[in-house]
Amino acid sequence: GLKDYEITDLVFKGKDFEHIKCKNPLIDSQSVGILADFVSMEDGSGIVHNAPGHGAEDYSVCSKYNLPILSPVDDKGAFTNEVPEFAGHRVFAANPLIIKKLQELGTLLNVTEISHSYPHCWRCKHAVIFRATFQWFMNVDHEGLRQKLLASANNTKWVPSYGIKRITAMLENRPDWCLSRQRYWGVPIPAIYCEKCGNVELIPSVIKKYEEYSQKESCSCWFTRPVEDFLPSGYACKCGGTKFRKENDIFDVWFDSGVSHEAVMAKRLKWPADMYLEGSDQHRGWFQTSMIPAVALRGRAPYDTVLTHGFVVDGEGKKMSKSLGNVIAPQEIIKNFGAEILRLWVSSSDYSEDVRISKEIIERLVETYRKIRNTIRFIIGNLCDYEHGKNRIKYEDLPELEKYMLLRLQQLNRDVTKAYDAYEFHSVISLVNNFCVLDLSGFYLDILKDRLYTYPADSKERRAGQTVLHEILITLLKLLSPILTFTAEEAWQILRQESKNIKESSTSIFVETIPEPDKALMNETLEQNWKKLMEVRDKANLELEKARKPGEQAPLIGSALEAKLLIKADKDLFEFLSKYKNCLPAILIVSQLELKQSGQELKITVSHADGKKCPRCWNWSTDIAETDEEGLCPRCKKAVDALV
């Protein structure tokens, strides 16, 4: 080994070695000293050998110094004639031979073994050799392409909004795109090589001829047909050569999918696409590889909007795996619960993150679906004797409660439409469910039942309620139709076939359009008035609930209709509530109510209602005649008498 050396205490900085000439200890050649940021003071000597033809980092740093890209290893992993003494030897098998040669030359300082991380093939487990090869590349900085890509990304709508940060970071730092692959299947690169000078060309007429053959046969005709079938008659290279060979490489499959917009959108539909939709991993994949050729060819992205979603995981947020036994197949949900529940699960999930699914989650959604469906069934059932063209009450003649419900319906329409436009489908389900549970079941329908069941069939009060129920149902079905498709269509057909509330020409809900919110019905004064009334109602419900609970004595009342309320309020609230005195009992669902002015804030006292209970409407009344055998209140007696 190396014997003629001297240890010195001289200290040199790393930059002192830049551009210095170093002699190769193995062959008669010189190397130049360069600087790189991946050399550290902690690992090794601080001096490393660079092989630009055998590593990405080495290639990058050597390119900055305009050094040649030497790669003396062939396709089989053996040294080429560029290293004559070891030509034909596999690189790892040649290691002992190289050490022996260094010993013979007296240039070997020491031999030792170290353990460190090294890449291996995942399939065969052998060590991997990085090797520079001739490939086709797209230069992403050609004619300012990278800046055009960044500008195009900023002109695209990204859902969720953080998508712009991800795609921008990737575009700013991405290397040139290697377009070629060495495979035996795929779309071939239609390039021609001159056998005489090695010149390679992409000839338009060759590409056109290949297109003609591939449409009649398949894209593999490039490999099966001779090169002469693609060349123009009498074609010659600039060097005079007339013998050619075809490129055997294929395109990167990401290039195939990346230019799909040209084959699909440009030729069959419209270009650009409204939206590209895929998983969040496609910022690095399809979204980016589609944008690059589109901007290069057309100056803009091939889409207006990009929507990304997370991945399905189990109820605990774990990745689904057969080995863990936590996989829930869509077919299983459809079989057990129906397709609507699967659609409801998808649309009610926040796809901007990973989406959880479990038996418990599905069962909760079944309950949500049941509430929505039962609301629709209730409304349909109470429109059985209603004909919209004949029985509809004009807006100006509606009671204020009905006007308020139409206002709430328009607000729902506005908010749901906004959620659809923002692709926030989980908000759609939340809004509709809350409307069905809180606004309808928990408020309006509870009040309306008395009118629907006890008032004369053709009374103005009952028809007013049906008019609004009809508007609510039609709007609800249209808003739900993109998600609960089967339910919406089923209800639509019932309305169409069993009543006269749908036009004959409207054969399906899917020929309808989602209605625009009617701003004329969104009266701000009306909304503020009912906000005050709802606050009084909430206070009354608290007091009624207390009266129902047993204490030291039996509960004061059983149901709210057994109650009589005394409402004391200050001057302003008293005057406000006095305007609604006749309808307040119905709004609060009590039998009797007394309103008094006081100098204090709102106070509500509950007592038992006076009189007797009407067996038909269940309201308590002091006007039930002792001689009335049926014991009906005057309102119910009038309604019953009208039937005779």
Is the sign of the CA dihedral 166, 168, 172, 175 positive or negative? positive
Give the Cα separation of 16 and 12 in Å (integer). Answer: 6
Give domain status of residue 619, yes or no: no
With a cut of 70, say whether residue 395 has pLDDT above it: yes
Give domain status of residue 329, yes or no: no
Instruction: Please provide residue 432's backbone torsions phi and psi, each rounded to the nearest 5 degrees.
Output: -65, -45
pLDDT digits 0-9 by tens, 6-64: 888 888 888 888 889 988 888 878 888 888 887 777 666 677 888 888 888 888 888 88
Give domain status of residue 634, yes or no: no
Q: Average pLDDT, whole number, for the chain?
A: 91
* Chain centroid to CA 157: 13
Give the Cα separation of 503 and 511 in Å (integer). Answer: 12
Q: Is 580 helix (H, G, I), strand (E, B) or coil?
A: coil
Give domain status of residue 153, yes or no: yes
Report how far apart, in Å, the C-alpha atoms of 360 and of each of 314, 333, 483, 586 are.
11, 12, 21, 39
Pair 379, 472 in one domain: yes
Reading the block at residue 147, the tokens are 């800046």
pLDDT digits 0-9 by tens, 192-207: 999 999 999 999 999 9
Give domain status of residue 313, yes or no: no
Give the Cα separation of 106 and 3 in Å (integer). Answer: 7
In this prediction, what percent of the chain has a pLDDT beyond 70?
Answer: 98
Pair 424, 548 in one domain: no
Pair 386, 451 in one domain: yes
Give the Cα separation of 496 and 487 in Å (integer). Answer: 14
Pair 206, 279 in one domain: yes
Reading the block at residue 420, the tokens are 């659809």
What one-letter code names the amino acid at 127?
A
Pair 562, 472 in one domain: no
Give domain status of residue 406, yes or no: yes
Query: Helix H segments across 185-285?
Result: 204-216, 221-224, 253-258, 260-261, 267-268
245, 187 in Cβ contact below 8 A?
A: no
- Residue 47, domain extent: 1-133
Instruction: Calculate mean pLDDT across residues 58-77.
Output: 87
Reading the block at residue 459, the tokens are 């009374």
Residue 56 burial class via C-beta count within 10 angstroms: exposed 0-12, middle 13-18, buried 19 and up? exposed
With a cut of 90, say whether residue 75 has pLDDT above it: no
> Which residues are CB-neighbours of 187 under 8 A, at least 6 positions away?
219, 250, 251, 256
Give the Cα separation of 470 and 474 in Å (integer). Answer: 6
Q: What is the pTM of this model?
A: 0.79
Most confident of 80-84, 325-329, 613-617: 613-617
CA angle 444, 445, 446 (to 5 degrees): 90
Please, which residues bridge with residue 306 across strands? Answer: 158, 276
Residue 562 burial class via C-beta count within 10 angstroms: exposed 0-12, middle 13-18, buried 19 and up? buried
Pair 58, 97 in one domain: yes
Pair 259, 364 in one domain: no
Model confidence at 1, in pLDDT bands (50, 70, 90)?
low
Pair 155, 129 in one domain: no
Give domain status of residue 85, yes or no: yes
Pair 265, 295 in one domain: yes
What kind and span of H or E run contains 57? helix 56-64
pLDDT digits 0-9 by tens, 417-466: 999 999 999 999 999 999 999 999 999 999 999 999 999 999 999 999 99
What kind and span of H or E run contains 377? helix 359-381
CATH number of residue 371's parent domain: 1.10.730.20
CATH number of residue 303's parent domain: 3.40.50.620
* Chain centroid to CA 164: 14
405, 512 in Cβ contact below 8 A?
A: no
CATH number of residue 76's parent domain: 3.90.740.10
332, 289 in Cβ contact below 8 A?
A: no
Give the Cα separation of 300 and 308 in Å (integer). Answer: 20
Reading the block at residue 393, the tokens are 């009450």
Give the Cα separation of 25 and 109 in Å (integer). Answer: 11
Listing DSSP states for 451-481 in one string gives HHHHS-TT-HHHHHHHHHHHHHHHHHHHHHT
Pair 516, 536 in one domain: no
Which of 106-120, 172-186, 337-351, 363-377 comes out lowest in average pLDDT?
106-120
For the chain, how big is the Rg over CA atoms in Å? 40
Instruction: Calculate mean pLDDT across residues 613-624.
Output: 93
Instruction: Please provide residue 158's backbone torsions phi and psi, each rounded to the nearest 5 degrees.
Output: -110, 125
CATH number of residue 563's parent domain: 3.30.2320.20
* Closest listed residue to residue 433, CA positions, set 404, 412, 410: 412
Please, which residues bridge with residue 596 across strands? Answer: 568
Is the sign of the CA dihedral 344, 347, 348, 352 positive or negative? positive
Pair 283, 407 in one domain: no
Query: Number of folded domains in the chain?
Result: 4
End-to-end CA distance of the chain: 124
Reading the block at residue 153, the tokens are 């990304």
Give the Cα separation of 625 and 426 in Å (integer). Answer: 55
Give the Cα separation of 356 and 503 in Å (integer). Answer: 42
Pair 155, 216 in one domain: yes
301, 153 in Cβ contact below 8 A?
A: yes
Last residue of a domain, one of 112, 133, 154: 133
With a cut of 90, say whether residue 227 has pLDDT above it: yes
> Which residues are CB-neighbours of 256 under 8 A, at least 6 positions away?
186, 187
Give domain status of residue 627, yes or no: no
